[in-house]
Amino acid sequence: MKKTVLITGITKGIGRALAELFAEEGFNVAGCARNEKEINTFKAELWNKYENQRFLLASVDVSDKIAVQAFASDVLSEFETIDVLINNAGIFIPGTILGEDDGIFEKQINTNLASAYHLTREIVPGMKLKKSGYVFNICSTASIKAYPNGGSYCISKFALLGMTKVLREELKEHNVKVTAILPGATLTDSWKGTDLPESRFIKPKDVAETIWNAYLLSKNTVIEEILIRPQLGDLS
């Protein structure tokens, strides 16, 4: 029986690299992103390449709790249980706590934190029942270091790391693994239009392969946090 991975923010950057890697390794893939056209295009690509696997990709606004819960219900109806959950969806809106527009805090908290919280609550009970599973939360170097113009984004990522630590404690006795991934500047759409060379960024594929290698460890071992930075260091 093929295993299944569920990835949020699946059409771009780290999420896309993860979907391609897990599919290549024989996994069924479920996932979501906001842009319906991009979802449909990526789904067709996966179906054409992997005819013997199952794919459920949907357009979902993960900042909407009801939409997240409905999506989780569809996924569980299709696959029954999920073997790997990767909470990857996120949004970065630069600003300061005192200078951000009203509503920016809620938007980033709902997208970067609440989406992972609500999806985890829907998916992980099945992992607990079968005493097997893995949760990866894509945090950030902004989860451990505040920086200028980080504003609500840093707050949301600090909180996501905290949630990951709590989840690790709750699930360790149930044989469900939990890992926080903390990438630095990664060459995704967040950096679109930058004048900086590619050498200053982490490649999304490198993050995906790091996650895959952590997943392959024996059942006796879990890496709780993985900090990834560009070779030349953080961008200021």
Output the domain CATH number for residue 71: 3.40.50.720
- Of 194 and 162, more confident: 162
Q: Tokens 């969806």 correspond to what residue?
A: 89
User: CA–CA separation, 199 vs 203, rounded Å?
Assistant: 9
pLDDT digits (tens, 9 = 90+) for 128-168: 999 999 999 999 999 999 989 999 999 999 999 999 999 99
At residue 80, the pLDDT reads 84
pLDDT given for residue 192 in this prediction:
62
Query: pLDDT by residue (tens digit) across 201-232?
Result: 899 999 999 999 999 999 999 999 999 998 88
Range of the domain at 24: 4-228
Residue 236 covered by a domain? no
Q: In this structure, is residue 39 part of a structural domain? A: yes
Judged by DSSP in three states, 53 sits in coil
| Catalytic residue check, 50 | no
Residue 123 lies in a domain: yes
Give the total number of structural domains in the chain.
1
Q: Give 229's strand partners.
A: none
Cα(184)–Cα(32) distance, integer angstroms? 23
Per-residue tokens: 155: 């707050």
Backbone angles phi, psi at 228, to 5 degrees: -125, 130
Give the relative orientation of helices 13-24 and 204-215 as an angle to the nearest 10 degrees.
50
Question: Is position 165 within any domain?
Answer: yes
Pairing of strands 84-87, 225-228: unpaired
Predicted local confidence at residue 100, as pLDDT:
97
Pairing state between β 84-87 and 55-59: unpaired
Q: Which of 134, 147, 153, 215 is catalytic?
A: 153
pLDDT exceeds cutoff 70 at 194: no
Encoded amino acid at 170, one letter: E
Please, which residues have CB within 8 angstroms of residue 10's CB and are 6 or more apart in sequence? Answer: 16, 18, 19, 29, 31, 32, 33, 39, 42, 57, 88
* Other C-beta atoms lying within 10 Å of the C-beta of residue 96: 11
Is pTM beyond 0.85? Reply is yes
Does residue 234 lie within any of the structural domains? no
Q: What is the mean predicted confidence (pLDDT) over 22-29?
A: 98
Higher pLDDT pick, 184 / 17:
17
The pLDDT tens digits of the residues spanning 40-95 come to: 999 999 999 999 999 999 999 999 999 999 999 999 999 989 999 999 999 999 99
Calculate mean pLDDT across residues 109-134.
98
